[in-house]
């Protein structure tokens, strides 16, 4: 009877101890093998030239930037400004000034004129007299207070100067606004052209060197492949080394067989062993052997 209890206690303690798994030194060696084979697989499946030319559509090797970002910004601003100035030059001011003179320069005696009035039709004819309160056009007198302001300005020097300046200023403001609109229209296309020619690529609104983009993409694709391959290679190499995955732990066949034998012996003791095992489980708050119905299931923890 004593021998039976000693055997039962031995089996109980053996079952309670955690599974040892692969020795740390050996596991480190196998992990090194996994890493070397993984690296070789990645190099074979996602070589730099293949990723660059086939997957990304880039020239290999990827060229280095020909200019810095600061240089490109300066060149872009200069180019956009130059093209906008060519399309909407400052010399247009002279055109507007000549137009203003035609509209608001002072009338002279003997000149054929047309005077707009606040009410009624315009008065057309030859200017005969310019007097203090009115003018004589052919045989018709036109008072200043009945003239439209634009026509009145042509008989008052200070008003003429004001009208000419205002006309040129307003026209130039519109001209400059058109130039700015044009700059906005061409900015994106000129930016793309300059930065692309300098071996940059835009990613999420930021221009980065093409080489940096390539390395980023290469690393991301290789990392994704590594995540998929690593579990497969671990299984392959561990199994080639003679280990098997048993109850969540890699074990040698000998240790697996020992655990199965202990489980078979445990099942021979019946209720007494089950009661002792349950007490041990209750005291430790965890399962020593998974399940009490047999079947070879062992909880490694």
**Does the residue 172 lie in any domain?**
yes
Residue 285: pLDDT over 60: no
Q: Check whether 282 has a pLDDT greater than 70.
A: no
CA 56 – CA 220 distance, rounded (Å): 13
Say yes or no: 120 and 184 in one domain.
Answer: yes
Does the residue 70 lie in any domain? no
- Residue 123 falls within a domain, yes or no? yes
Mean pLDDT of 83-95: 98
Picking from 246, 270, 254, 265, the residue whose alpha carbon sits closest to that of residue 10 is: 265
Question: What percent of the chain lies above the pLDDT cut of 90?
Answer: 75
Q: Which of 146, 172, 189 is the last residue of a domain?
A: 189
Q: What is the pLDDT of residues 42-78, one digit of tens each?
A: 999 999 999 999 999 999 999 999 999 999 999 999 9
Higher pLDDT, 27 or 280: 27
Residue 37 resides in a domain: yes
Per residue in 229-242, pLDDT tens? Answer: 999 999 999 999 99
Residue 66 placed within a domain: no
What 248-251 contacts at long range (C-beta under 8 Å, 24+ apart), as own/partner pairs, is 248/300, 249/19, 249/21, 249/300, 250/21, 250/22, 251/19, 251/20, 251/21, 251/22
Which has more confidence, 165 or 255?
A: 165
Residue 240's pLDDT is 96
Does 35 reside within a domain?
Answer: yes
pTM for this structure? 0.69
Bridge pairing between strands 140-143 and 123-130: unpaired
185 and 92 in a single domain? The answer is: yes
Residue 93 shares a structural domain with residue 181: yes
| Cis upstream peptide for 61 (omega within 30°) | yes
Q: What is the pLDDT of residue 287?
A: 46
* pLDDT given at position 261: 81
Structural domain count, the chain: 2
Q: What is the pLDDT of residues 91-149, one digit of tens each?
A: 999 999 999 999 999 999 999 999 999 999 999 999 999 999 999 999 999 999 999 99
CB atoms closer than 10 angstroms to residue 209 = 18
Alpha helix stretches (DSSP H) within the chain: 2-16, 24-45, 48-49, 69-87, 92-104, 149-152, 157-197, 210-240, 253-269, 271-284
Cα–Cα distance, 12 to 4 (Å, whole number):
12
Same domain, residue pair 90 and 152: yes
In a domain, residue 79? The reply is no
pLDDT higher than 50, residue 186: yes
Average pLDDT of the residues in 159-176: 98
Domain limits at 254? 2-57+215-284
| Average pLDDT, integer, range 274-285 | 59
81 domain-assigned? no
Q: Which whole-number Å values give the CA distances from 81 to 86, 128, 182, in the listed order? A: 9, 51, 10
Verify that 221 and 182 share a domain, yes or no.
no
Residues 98, 170 within the same domain = yes
Residues 181 and 91 placed together within one structural domain of the fold:
yes
Confidence at residue 19, expressed as pLDDT on a 0 to 100 scale: 60
Mean pLDDT of the chain: 87
Residue 165 and residue 105 share a domain: yes
Q: What is the per-residue pLDDT for 1?
A: 47
Convert the pLDDT of each residue in 201-248 to its tens digit: 999 999 999 999 999 999 999 999 999 999 999 999 999 999 999 988
Residue 5 scores a pLDDT above 70: no
- Is the same domain home to 23 and 93? no
Q: Identify the weakest region by mean pLDDT among 8-22, 40-54, 106-120, 148-162.
A: 8-22
**Closest of 137, 131, 133, 96 to residue 114, by C-alpha:** 137
Decide: 265 and 259 in contact? Cβ < 8 Å: no
The reply to whether 47 and 121 lie within a common domain is no
Question: Do 226 and 150 share a structural domain?
Answer: no
Same domain, 272 and 229: yes
């Amino acid at each position: 009877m004593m021998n039976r209890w000693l055997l039962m206690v031995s089996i109980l303690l053996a079952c309670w101890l955690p599974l040892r798994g692969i020795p740390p030194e050996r596991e480190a060696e196998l992990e090194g093998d996994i890493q070397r084979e993984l690296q070789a697989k990645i190099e074979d499946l996602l070589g730099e030239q293949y990723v660059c030319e086939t997957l990304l559509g880039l020239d290999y090797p990827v060229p280095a930037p020909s200019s810095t970002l600061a240089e490109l910004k300066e060149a872009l601003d200069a180019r956009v400004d130059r093209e906008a100035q060519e399309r909407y030059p400052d010399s247009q001011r002279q055109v507007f000034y000549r137009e203003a003179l035609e509209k608001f320069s002072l009338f002279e005696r003997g000149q054929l004129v047309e005077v707009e009035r606040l009410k009624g039709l315009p008065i057309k004819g030859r200017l005969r007299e310019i007097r203090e309160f009115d003018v004589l056009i052919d045989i018709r007198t036109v008072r200043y207070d009945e003239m439209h302001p634009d026509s009145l300005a042509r008989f008052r020097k200070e008003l003429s100067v004001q009208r000419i300046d205002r006309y040129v200023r307003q026209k130039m403001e519109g001209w400059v606004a058109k130039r700015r609109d044009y700059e906005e229209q061409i900015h994106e296309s000129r930016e793309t052209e300059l930065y692309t020619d300098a071996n940059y690529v835009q990613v999420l609104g930021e221009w980065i060197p093409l080489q940096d983009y390539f390395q980023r993409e290469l690393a991301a694709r290789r990392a994704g492949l590594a995540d998929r391959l690593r579990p497969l290679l671990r299984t392959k190499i561990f199994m080639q080394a003679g280990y098997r995955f048993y109850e969540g732990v890699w074990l040698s066949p000998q240790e697996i067989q020992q655990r199965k034998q202990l489980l078979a012996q445990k099942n021979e003791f019946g209720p007494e062993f089950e009661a002792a095992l349950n007490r041990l489980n209750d005291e430790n708050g965890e399962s020593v052997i998974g399940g009490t119905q047999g079947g070879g299931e062992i909880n490694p923890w």
